[in-house]
Amino acid sequence: MSRGAAFIPPGATLGVLGGGQLGRMFAQAAQSAGYGVAVLEADEAAPAAQVTGIHLAARYDDPLALDQLARDCAAVTVEFENIPAASLQWLDARVPLAPAPQSVAICQDRAQEKALFTRLGVPCAPHAVLRAGSDGSVVDADLFPGILKTARLGYDGKGQISVACAADLPAARAALGGVDCVLEKRLDLAYELSVVMARGRDGSTVLFAPQQNLHRNGILFASFSPGPAITPEIAAAAQNAAGAVAQGLDYVGVLCVEFFVLRDGRLLANEIAPRPHNSGHHTIDSCTVSQFELQWRALVNAPLLAPRQHSATVMLNLLGDLWFDAAGHQREPDWAAVLAQPGAHLHLYGKHAPRKGRKMGHLTCTAATPDEARQAALHACAILGLEPFQDETAPSLAVLAAPEGGVSSFGTAVRN
């Protein structure tokens, strides 16, 4: 919907589609500036519903709930990308919505993401799109061994199967339900990083420094900022690539672009998230402006302040596994010991039923130096019984050199 960029002052109500922890932290940030928040989410006990004044307990495609959201809210955003396209389009015709439906639609589909990267000249992993019912026998042999991923609805390692050779492809496709898939070549990764940024309706853009990410079992385990292996050249290339993606989408709001860094030093785009991102949670405690403040600022057309990171940080995801002892009995983690550490910032999401692999909260450890932040996080790991991360984040000689030819040119990111 084409609208002017008039500032929406505090006192207005902002809407959010989705009631998880991202909606909760968005609501808390917006409320601190005097905005009301309404959340549309079917779950009565959802994390965001616990902290908002208006909770519309309905499905995302409920016409009455959507109508009330449009009537009560001065602007609406999304908490996660898997919102029905029809709901976003209906809202976009009636109330300022950020990000736009077409941006969310691209981020809902890995095949469309890959097509966007290709169109913008942003390198990504070698891949092939396999449509439902198509013959996979013509897939390039160079893509094996690979990873078969569902084009839609995959997250935290779900909807993915390793495929060693072409003969394994039919069974893998059947196991994923025969839906549209993307086959990606398995790459020799050195590490992963992400760039979180915000872009306003006027095209102004601000970016956080990239954070290095460590995944375990397909779920983000920890984020490090500054990242121990991220060189200035890689950081600049990643920020430029993220800026090019945002510009190519004509994006409004907070956006995260995830990247692979290969052992030969190449930087490849992986995925886009049209919202704040798990890896950016540390910005609440380590930066002058958090990703959630930038989310409401972009939504209400407020100036986008360039964030300044004032503390080195390590963010640890707190999964439901921590609530169970070795015998499988539920118990509460030793939060008192964790909170006794200087620079420890505990964020729990209000989820009442811990389950293995479920994100229950996060812990941010801030310090004056990266080494002090890492040591504090390692101490927290020992208290909580988490496997330490020492060797997994150490920079290797292969990735300390800039990519061949210097910094890749993906476009220019404008910083305000």
pLDDT class of 183 with cuts at 50, 70, 90: very high
Residues 315 and 356 in one domain: yes
Q: 271 vs 51, 125, 259, 358, 372, CA distance in Å?
A: 30, 11, 7, 21, 31
Q: How confident is the prediction for the chain on average, in pLDDT? A: 91
Q: Where are the alpha helices (DSSP H) in 303-394?
A: 335-339, 370-384
d(CA 61, CA 43): 14
Residues 209 and 181 in one domain: no
Q: What is the CATH number for 176?
A: 3.30.1490.20
Residues 277 and 333 in one domain: yes
Domain enclosing residue 59, as ranges: 13-97
Residues 178 and 227 in one domain: no
Is position 386 within any domain?
yes
Is position 413 within any domain?
no
pLDDT above 60 for 25: yes
Is position 106 within any domain?
no
d(CA 118, CA 203): 22
Residues 215 and 297 in one domain: yes
pLDDT class of 178 with cuts at 50, 70, 90: confident
pLDDT above 60 for 177: yes
Q: Residue 8 has which token pair?
A: 């929406």
Residues 178 and 256 in one domain: no
What pLDDT shows up at residue 320?
A: 97
Q: 221-247: per-residue pLDDT in tens?
A: 999 999 999 999 999 999 999 999 999
Averaged pLDDT, 163-180: 89
Q: 292-350: per-residue pLDDT in tens?
A: 999 999 999 999 999 999 999 999 999 999 999 989 999 999 999 999 999 999 999 99
Residues 377 and 279 in one domain: yes
Residues 173 and 194 in one domain: no
Q: Residue 72 has which token pair?
A: 């009560």
pLDDT above 60 for 188: yes
Question: What's the pTM?
Answer: 0.91
Residues 215 and 172 in one domain: no
Judge residue 138's burial from the number of C-beta atoms within 10 Å of its C-beta, 0-12 exposed, 13-18 middle, 19 or more buried. Answer: exposed
| Residue 299 backbone phi and psi in degrees, to 5 | -70, -40
Residues 367 and 317 in one domain: yes
Number of structural domains found in the chain: 3
pLDDT above 90 for 416: no
Among the ranges given (155-169, 187-201, 322-336), the one the predictor scored with the smallest mean pLDDT: 155-169
Percentage of the residues of the chain whose pLDDT score is greater than 90: 81
pLDDT above 60 for 216: yes
| Residue 351 backbone phi and psi in degrees, to 5 | -85, 125
d(CA 20, CA 79): 7
Is position 2 within any domain?
no
d(CA 323, CA 325): 7
Averaged pLDDT, 17-37: 98
Averaged pLDDT, 59-83: 97
Averaged pLDDT, 159-164: 88
What pLDDT shows up at residue 391?
A: 63
Evaluate whether 95 touches 73 at the Cβ level (below 8 Å).
Answer: yes
Q: What is the CATH number for 37?
A: 3.40.50.20
pLDDT above 60 for 414: no
Q: 354-409: per-residue pLDDT in tens?
A: 999 999 999 999 999 999 999 999 999 999 999 999 766 655 433 333 333 332 33
pLDDT class of 155 with cuts at 50, 70, 90: low
pLDDT above 90 for 138: no
What pLDDT shows up at residue 329?
A: 94
Q: 170 vs 165, 167, 199, CA distance in Å?
A: 10, 7, 42
Residues 88 and 198 in one domain: no
Is position 358 within any domain?
yes
Residues 375 and 334 in one domain: yes
Look up tokens 């729990």; give the residue: 348
